[in-house]
Structure 1
């Protein structure tokens, strides 16, 4: 039996999976774009700070999601026996049917279960679009062939454990993060009804948005690495990783909408998406691979005094934004021309950073309007440290996302030099 015959079912299954993936990616992009497009009317502006009209935002999300899902599926794959208009029509019908059935099912549930099931709507739209496109024949692209070769070369008994670990890591990580947020974030006063609130430039001066960006990036990165270890081709693993990250963070925003203190926050969602998109862009853009989002944290005086009378237990470590700094660590050695490389050590990186001054008064616990801190630093790249053992390489790779203290120049709000800054 020829290899082509053996691989044919895998090609069909792979193409169906690709259409589903493309549809879901399109749906996410479309839904996100729909939310952003609704903000001028529903919130008074993209960068507003106010309660928003729920129906306007929901309508923007729904229309954008359906159109994006259909367009994503129609654009997937190589040369097809169906023309562009027919592909889009088939995709749109499948998206509407799949989405309609799933929405009807999810709407029968309530509370946390309903929020937990919302990603199934996007999946059902993708499956519906892929099913309607099954009547169109496709010519495999070069990317399809490369992905198939990767999967075939990856299939061996030793990979079974890697696939099991990937599945366990994804489900366990999802459950663990949910339990943490449920205890730490959603145990306060419930909102009278689910609501949407946009918030830019509040007391914490958008330091929380950098946290959302960093979270979206890391969730995408870690998920894609787990999937690649489980034999998902890297080009697809990064997209599945971005979907996983966005779906989880979208659900966090949905749950936030049930809490009086928070609300569903489109500005947080923009930062979430930016982090996931940066991870995807790195996969396809060589120059971006030399830039690494890095995090550092040192507890503030306000955090250490959080349990004193009048402080109300605030801030928590996750909201101690004044102690958090977000860096974009840049591999200068990798970016400069070859003739200049001897003059710059590969171990040393340059990192612009962002943090804020106190936004919680460490003495009274009252709110302060923080000032933005722009920083510039030299730091060390752990991945360039000596040693090539596989376990040590993995440790170095993960350490590279946490800053090693180094000399730092603070540019704003006042100019200062720190021999070591963490």
Structure 2
């Protein structure tokens, strides 16, 4: 991929995640007390049908406006015939994990909103799964008509996997037992290509894949017996990261003197939503914190250095 095209696509991926998660995060905070209430215990019966109608209309209007504005900003050249672009070899596939996490978080946040409208957990999970998919799909389709990009089957598969992971758990278990999470730390690699990896901290946590780690945080107590002494809030997390990628493609990173490699992690984590509290604001804080993997002692394995232990890794 040419450097300019590489940079533009990288910028779009970062902006896409930031805009979509940011929009839904603000939407959640605006309904702070409503979305986090226990929907199984209601002392009054508001008009839940009205809430659902208003929520769907609001989502449609805001999202349509957002997509229209972003399409004007992103797609500067006239659209062409629909075509595909295979980017599955780029960034050691960590960008696909990022797509999955984004779509999952959209579904997770949306589900809270749907519960606020009176839907059951399973119905909310189904609606949220569709929302997570719908929020991403139009952008991928527009990419297919853009001469600068192209429809990525890998991106689309990841966009489906995220909401599917959320919805399937509620259909199977009635709760979340496996949760994708995110962590980030600064790396010096951004100095090599600031235009690609970001010049400021805000840019780097979106653009520098070398500092990003994606996790699957599993709650062991949910798979055990109710009499288990294992803390219900304690999780075990498996992570994936990359290093020394200063270009989208591995050979181009090697040309610049770097040897890209994959990193695998095993660590402890906290499921904040399993910490019991009656405080609605604290429930919201816990809900938002569950997007992030907490800093914790971590065992790393990579093909270059073998096993490494981090006393505290984020």
1:347 corresponds, among 215, 218, 233, to 233
Q: Secondary structure at the match of 1:196?
A: coil
Distance 1:240 1:383, change over 3 A: closer
Q: 1 or 2, which has the higher helix percentage?
A: 1
Q: Secondary structure at the match of 2:151?
A: coil
Counterpart of 1:324? 212
Asked whether the 8 Å contact 1:299–1:323 carries over to 2, the reply is yes
Counterpart of 1:335? 223
Asked whether the 8 Å contact 1:198–1:266 carries over to 2, the reply is yes
Q: Does 1:404 pair with 2:294? A: yes
Q: Which has the larger radius of gyration?
A: 1
Q: Secondary structure at the match of 2:92?
A: coil
Q: Deviations over 1:272-301 (max 9, x none)?
A: 111111111011122872111111122332
Asked whether the 8 Å contact 2:193–2:246 carries over to 1, the reply is no
Q: Does 1:252 pair with 2:139? A: yes
Alignment of 1:48-87 (within 5 A): none
Q: Deviations over 1:294-342 (max 9, x none)?
A: 11122332335544xxxx4445543322221111111122222345x22
Q: Secondary structure at the match of 2:176?
A: helix
TM-score scaled by length of structure 2 = 0.70
Asked whether the 8 Å contact 2:217–2:235 carries over to 1, the reply is yes
Q: Secondary structure at the match of 2:89?
A: coil
Q: Secondary structure at the match of 1:367?
A: helix
Q: Deviations over 1:352-376 (max 9, x none)?
A: 0111112107xxxx63463221110
Equivalent-residue separation in structure 2 for 1:176 and 1:400 (angstroms): 26
For structure 1, the 5+ residue unaligned runs are 1-149
Alignment of 1:41-120 (within 5 A): none
Superposition RMSD on alpha carbons, in Å? 3.3
Counterpart of 2:103? 216
Counterpart of 2:86? 198
Alignment of 1:225-304 (within 5 A): 225-286=112-173, 289-303=176-190
For structure 2, the 5+ residue unaligned runs are 1-39
Distance 1:258 1:166, change over 3 A: closer
Asked whether the 8 Å contact 2:122–2:174 carries over to 1, the reply is no
Counterpart of 2:272? 382
Equivalent-residue separation in structure 2 for 1:287 and 1:228 (angstroms): 14
Tell me the matched-pair count.
Answer: 259
Higher relative CO (Cα under 8 Å, sequence separation at least 6) belongs to 2
Q: CA deviation at 1:393?
A: 0.9
Q: Deviations over 1:221-254 (max 9, x none)?
A: 2223212212344433322322222222121111
Counterpart of 1:418? 310
Q: Does 1:356 pair with 2:250? A: no
Asked whether the 8 Å contact 2:266–2:299 carries over to 1, the reply is yes
